């Protein structure tokens, strides 16, 4: 534009006079037509409204003591502004943008006259004729809603709407409504009618993440706000009433139908001619194609956006977020998960899988929440809680070693009873005496439960919390030894890193820093000293035993040709299959199953999960020298090699009895209810 256009008055007619309107009964006449109880209801509501507006004494304090303050100038425009987000990978390369699309600030003088008029027609046709609160509109809404017995009209002005959006909660209370009216009055005193309307046009939500007229124009039509046609602006004015439902990429027909009402209101107000109205209806606007999908990075961005909001809070400017993600490994992980499920999932009865990979310091390099984010954004690596089966057993053995048990100690695989519960191995057989190391490598159920019983429930809960598992209660019931409590893949993989890091806990993290668009540091991850939560020597013993799981136990399909350790897990009826493993350089976890909890076709943790893990870790280790863990203890007598494949371990879901009883009785009934399932094995 070469210069600012001449000022316009948007409340005045810019075309020929409208046709005479049909004469409607006056408000008093319509009120007289109501039933007596309806008139009483209207009178009571009006009286209560006036009394509350007037306030006084204690009422004034009630409404004013926590009333938000309206900031000045630029601060007002940033109030409650949803930030946009730009995401960088671990090396600082921009990989995606997300969040609110705020566009450029538009001014009334830059817009064609019909642009603000369309919003006045849709939201507040008498905007320039009434004050911050429209008592006539309130009465009209009360009359219509009372007559129809439901809420069909609202009496809020544009000024009230923007006051509520920027400063108040959406609660439907009298206090909020009174505060809304007070703030609306202050807004109009501070900004004037034109200023409030301009603020509204820049802050109103249009769906699809677009806030403000310019962002909506670019998102839906690929143009700037001052380039909008009458048809385009009419359909945009139709959206704010229900932005999620009427977003043009979801419900073009619904928004288009409402835009015809907007055009009719504009013609009735004399802002456009009948010819302009017909022309806009005859040529409905086309929506530009959406931007390319985020593709395989979608699960990462969902998690990062939520975490960034938690770290920096609301009311922030646009953010630039540095992630720990390695884009190449993220793409490889997603591709491997998708290929394995696509080629083997149907025969295996598995429809989903998830993967997470981290460096020893806890930096998440890849996180795959499912086979396709576009089809299902639910993140199975972080949001899902599933039973880990025997992949939980390393924590039981870790607690046992901490209590004085040695890997070379002998335990007997034989029938056992705890209350009414008789845990059993798959198939019902028992192998007799064996070392604790062999029991872990072979994933023997009875010995895992025996060790858990020796340690005690409080110590099992304590070690779970120290290792970072938040879903295990302080005193879990004994079936925790077989993975009966649900965990997330991310938390369980993070727990295994305690072994990888010689007993040090380094919590997983995805964001290393956040800066604002102005260059200010909003968050910087501090390099804190790791917490020693487990003895270094005992961690070495655990890693040595878990290396045996990969070398000669249930996870032989995960072998990389370099030192690695881990544990398989398979829950009851093959509903969930896991493999969590690590090398000195990487830790990764894999889950395979179905969202509807449907059993798979005898898929174990040593099957598809181990395959996915091996393929991903082979890629992650390219170019890295082969090295062993440097904190392993001097050897003990190694267990004999194992030829058989893993048998699924049972992990029934914990359940409480329906009738309240004493704690001891509850526990006995609980074990009794599980006895048959544990004894039978998978069906």
- Comparing CA positions, the residue from 521, 448, 435 lying closest to residue 484 is 448
- Residue-wise pLDDT for 81-133, tens only, equals 766 888 999 999 988 888 777 777 889 999 999 999 999 999 888 888 888 88
Q: Which helix (H) or strand (E) holds 184?
A: helix 174-203
Q: CA 415, CA 259: separation in Å to the nearest integer?
A: 74
Answer whether 27-62+88-282 and 329-503+541-680 agree in fold.
Answer: no
User: At which residue do the structure tokens 């730009």 appear?
Assistant: 86
Residue 138: both structure tokens together: 């309130």
Q: CA 509, CA 358: separation in Å to the nearest integer?
A: 9
Q: CA 278, CA 287: separation in Å to the nearest integer?
A: 20
Q: CA 474, CA 476: separation in Å to the nearest integer?
A: 6
Kindly list the domain boundaries of the chain, sorted by start residue: 27-62+88-282, 329-503+541-680
Q: Distances in Å between the alpha carbon of 645 and those of 204, 555, 574, 648?
A: 61, 8, 15, 10
Other beta carbons within 10 angstroms of residue 231's beta carbon come to: 21
Q: CA 343, CA 422: separation in Å to the nearest integer?
A: 39
**pLDDT score for 183:** 84
Beta strands 84-88 and 319-323 are parallel
- Comparing CA positions, the residue from 318, 311, 337, 453 lying closest to residue 396 is 453
Please check whether residue 440 is in contact with residue 545, taking contact to mean a CB–CB distance below 8 angstroms.
Answer: yes
Q: Distances in Å between the alpha carbon of 503 and those of 53, 118, 364, 466, 530?
A: 64, 65, 19, 10, 10
**pLDDT score for 172:** 67
Question: Which residues, other chains included, contact 96 with Cβ-Cβ below 8 Å and sequence gap of 6+?
Answer: 86, 87, 294, 297, 301
- Comparing CA positions, the residue from 624, 570, 623 lying closest to residue 592 is 570
What's this model's pTM, rounded to 2 decimal places?
0.65
Question: Which residues, other chains included, contact 379 with Cβ-Cβ below 8 Å and sequence gap of 6+?
Answer: 299, 302, 303, 354, 367, 369, 370
Residues in the chain, pLDDT under 50: 1-23, 56-57, 151-152, 640-683
- Comparing CA positions, the residue from 487, 227, 224, 505 lying closest to residue 381 is 487
- Comparing CA positions, the residue from 364, 313, 494 lying closest to residue 89 is 364
Angle between helices 135-148 and 36-54 (to 10 degrees): 150
Q: Distances in Å between the alpha carbon of 415 and those of 221, 389, 429, 647, 648?
A: 71, 20, 9, 18, 18
- Degrees (nearest 5) of the Cα angle 579, 581, 584? 170
**pLDDT score for 575:** 95
**pLDDT score for 211:** 87
- Comparing CA positions, the residue from 198, 207, 2, 39 lying closest to residue 105 is 198
Residue 447: both structure tokens together: 């010995």
As its CATH architecture, domain 27-62+88-282 has Orthogonal Bundle (1.10)
**pLDDT score for 162:** 84
Q: Choose the CATH number for 329-503+541-680 among 3.30.70.890, 3.40.710.10, 3.40.50.2300, 3.10.20.90.
A: 3.40.710.10
Biggest alpha carbon–alpha carbon distance for the chain:
102
**pLDDT score for 664:** 39
Q: CA 88, CA 492: separation in Å to the nearest integer?
A: 27
């Amino acid at each position: 534009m070469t210069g600012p256009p001449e000022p316009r008055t948007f409340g005045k007619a810019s075309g020929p006079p409208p046709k005479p309107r049909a004469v409607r009964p006056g408000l008093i006449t319509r009120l007289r037509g109501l039933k007596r109880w309806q008139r009483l209801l209207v009178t009571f509501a009006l009286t209560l409204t006036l009394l509350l507006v007037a306030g006084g004494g204690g009422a004034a304090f009630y409404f004013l003591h926590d009333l938000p303050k309206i900031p000045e100038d630029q601060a007002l425009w940033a109030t409650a502004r949803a930030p946009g987000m730009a995401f960088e990978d671990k090396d600082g390369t921009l990989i995606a943008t997300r969040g609110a699309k705020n566009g450029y600030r538009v001014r009334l003088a830059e817009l064609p006259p019909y642009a603000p008029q369309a919003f006045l027609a849709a939201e507040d046709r008498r905007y320039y004729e009434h004050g911050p609160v429209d008592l006539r509109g309130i009465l009209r809404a009360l009359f219509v809603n009372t007559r129809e017995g439901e809420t069909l009209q609202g009496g809020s002005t544009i000024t009230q709407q923007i006051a509520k959006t920027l400063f108040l909660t959406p609660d439907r209370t009298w206090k909020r409504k009174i505060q809304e009216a007070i703030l609306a009055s202050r807004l109009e005193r501070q900004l004037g009618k034109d200023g409030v309307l301009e603020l509204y046009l820049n802050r109103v939500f249009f769906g699809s993440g677009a806030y403000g007229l310019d962002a909506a124009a670019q998102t839906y039509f690929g143009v700037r706000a001052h380039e909008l046609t009458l048809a385009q602006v009419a359909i945009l004015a139709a959206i704010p009433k229900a932005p999620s439902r009427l977003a043009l990429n979801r419900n073009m027909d619904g928004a288009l139908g409402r835009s015809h009402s907007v055009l009719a209101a504009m013609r009735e107000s004399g802002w456009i001619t009948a010819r302009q109205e017909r022309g806009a209806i005859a040529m409905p606007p086309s929506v530009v194609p959406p931007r390319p999908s985020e593709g395989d990075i979608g699960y990462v961005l969902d998690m990062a956006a939520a975490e960034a909001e938690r770290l920096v809070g609301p009311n922030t400017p646009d953010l630039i977020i540095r992630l720990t993600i390695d884009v190449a490994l993220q793409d490889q992980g997603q591709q491997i998960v998708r290929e394995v499920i696509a080629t083997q999932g149907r025969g295996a009865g598995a429809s989903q899988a998830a993967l997470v990979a981290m460096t020893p310091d806890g930096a998440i390099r890849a996180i795959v929440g499912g086979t396709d984010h576009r089809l299902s954004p639910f993140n199975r690596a972080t949001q899902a809680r599933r039973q880990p089966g025997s992949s939980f057993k390393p924590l039981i053995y870790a607690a046992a070693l901490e209590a004085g048990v040695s890997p070379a100690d002998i335990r007997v695989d034989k029938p056992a009873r705890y209350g009414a519960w008789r845990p059993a191995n798959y198939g019902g057989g028992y192998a007799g005496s064996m070392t604790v190391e062999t029991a872990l490598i072979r994933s023997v159920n009875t010995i895992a439960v025996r060790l858990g019983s020796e340690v005690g429930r409080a110590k099992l809960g304590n070690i779970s919390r120290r290792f970072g598992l938040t879903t295990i209660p302080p005193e879990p019931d004994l079936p925790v030894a077989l993975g009966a409590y649900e965990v997330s893949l991310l938390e369980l993989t993070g727990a295994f890193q305690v072994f990888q890091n010689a007993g040090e806990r380094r919590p997983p993290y995805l964001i290393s820093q956040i800066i604002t668009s102005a260059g200010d540091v909003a968050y910087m991850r501090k390099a804190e000293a790791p917490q020693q939560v487990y003895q270094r020597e005992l961690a070495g013993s655990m890693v040595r035993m878990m290396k045996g799981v990969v070398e000669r136990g249930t996870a032989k399909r995960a072998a990389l040709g370099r030192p690695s350790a881990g544990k398989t897990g398979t829950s009851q009826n093959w509903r969930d299959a896991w493999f969590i493993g690590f090398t000195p350089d990487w830790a990764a976890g894999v889950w395979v199953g179905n969202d509807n909890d449907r059993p798979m076709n005898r898929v174990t943790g040593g099957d598809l999960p181990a395959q996915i893990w091996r393929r991903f870790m082979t890629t992650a280790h390219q170019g890295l020298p082969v090295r062993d863990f440097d904190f392993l203890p001097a050897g003990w007598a190694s267990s004999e090699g194992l030829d058989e494949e893993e048998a699924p371990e049972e992990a029934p879901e914990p359940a409480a009895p329906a009738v309240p009883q004493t704690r001891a009785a509850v526990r006995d009934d609980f074990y009794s209810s599980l006895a048959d399932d544990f004894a039978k094995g998978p069906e």
